Structure 1
């Protein structure tokens, strides 16, 4: 299960926060700058990436190289942008104890903790160390040649996809689990996803939504030409393997859509749980189910009530989406089920 631990930092200690910002939008830059000013006022050292510092122009901030050392010794990597910016920040935070905290300024923003209107509340939580840290399962990849020698590797927080390189040809693959062949088929590719990534590329390809505290890995074929091509949920300790026949189409590996590797002819790709988890800071008490309702605009009243209410927009944000009064009542009415705002699901 996803481990949840309290913040490791205490007031009075030397504290550092690294900002990762989508600098292509002025509104994002302004929000990042105002947030940095507040953190600095609270005695927290703000770090900026050297390729973003000129656009942010924050006086007194420490400028660091955008490499594996950027988040060393930092408490939080605060992300201003969408999921793409968050995944970029995860590369920096992975080899440190820093926790990622995202402010969603993109479209969906499943990885982000908060929306722009709640930034002040989030900054208060950082200042007071009033947040928890979730450890999310990540995956590592080895690319091997036809002799079994490792020729490359990478990692992912969301997913790794093995994709065909020639669009006009089908990619033939053999899928194995823990060293035992399971099936073979032609396809456009195969996705290997974490629970965190189940709402991203894997979801679009027909995979299941998996709660992030479930430790598992997903296997989702993409446009497979086969009868047995359903998504699979495997043990987090399994080794998932795709073998590419030497006489077939060439393949490449894409990790989180950011890092790519070519697979040699006759080579294979091994996917397993990474040794290091990715740490994500949480401030708000909303459940993952609440996030699904909010991000996808899911109707929760039922079809008959939805005729007179806009689906997905009728909930009081502070209420539990499963409370009886919310499901059956109107937004302005009191709960009819006897529950309170703090009731659990």
Structure 2
């Protein structure tokens, strides 16, 4: 078996978990290939020799059984840019904060590896958004997809912007707001949630439209079928706005038309049987707990 290992950057406090993971995988005769920049960060700190590295999407293929990520949910969002449509399942080890996606806790690494080898897990597919612009924005390609959300927002102004929005070519509304978020079920517990959007179960075939600080109080978040094609363009007092695909940001102007739809590939996440989405919700959002003390 061969696995990839990815982290956004090396943090000294993660040294113990990197060492533990590499040691366990080596003992299990599992070949490990580490993302190049991540490896450079810890190579002088950790005594692990003869490690192969990868640096781009083209370096990964179907010989990889899994990708382990070490960090938080943001690390997984970055890891998706390496995997894209390769269908390599992600095992997210949470050394960050919330960890809705990275649901293997850092003190459960050995148990998680054993569960994976024994096939005691489920593969959960997560929908991905595809973005197209007219005219094409060269710097956005080929990373024109998002796992969490696509959003548009104001750039160099404190004034509201207007987002003219169409669903399957039918006019929906013009949002007068700071911006608009199109969130997947995965992204529904992120930026969209902080703006008042609904929590959507990961397997639901839906997207959420969530306005950011809308001027009209009647402009409420809306859940739509995930086969819907969303078109919009943005205008305002300034002519430049921000288009964000997860954490990747490009500048657009009012002449650019934007289309968002479900991508033709999905992300595969490994869910260790004991850590379900509902369990994560209860733990991370403190549901059912009396916090009055």
Structure 1 length as normaliser, TM-score?
Answer: 0.77
**Structure 1 residue runs without a partner (length 5+):** 1-14, 301-305, 313-345
Structure 1 runs, 4 residues or longer, greater than 6 Å off: none
* Secondary structure in structure 1 of the residue aligned to 2:116: helix
Distance verdict in 2 for CA 1:165–1:229, change over 3 Å = same
Could you report, residue by residue, the CA deviation over 1:176-209 in whole angstroms, capped at 9, with x for unpaired residues? 1111111113211100000011000000010000
1:38 corresponds to which of 24, 44, 49: 24
CA distance in 2, matches of 1:50, 1:116: 22
Distance verdict in 2 for CA 1:311–1:284, change over 3 Å = farther
In the TM superposition, residue 118 of structure 1 has moved relative to its aligned partner by 1.1
In the TM superposition, residue 280 of structure 1 has moved relative to its aligned partner by 0.4
CA contact (8 A) 1:39 1:127 kept: no
Higher relative contact order structure (alpha carbons within 8 Å, sequence separation ≥ 6): 2
Higher strand share: 2
1:297 corresponds to which of 277, 280, 286: 286
CA distance in 2, matches of 1:267, 1:21: 34
Structure 2 length as normaliser, TM-score?
Answer: 0.90
Could you report, residue by residue, the CA deviation over 1:302-341 in whole angstroms, capped at 9, with x for unpaired residues? xxxx4xxx579xxxxxxxxxxxxxxxxxxxxxxxxxxxxx
1:277 corresponds to which of 258, 266, 275: 266
CA distance in 2, matches of 1:42, 1:117: 18
Distance verdict in 2 for CA 1:157–1:42, change over 3 Å = same
CA distance in 1, matches of 2:244, 2:148: 11
Aligned to 1:340: none
CA contact (8 A) 2:233 2:254 kept: no
Aligned to 2:156: 166
Q: Superposition RMSD on alpha carbons, in Å?
A: 2.1
CA distance in 1, matches of 2:77, 2:59: 15
CA contact (8 A) 1:251 1:262 kept: yes
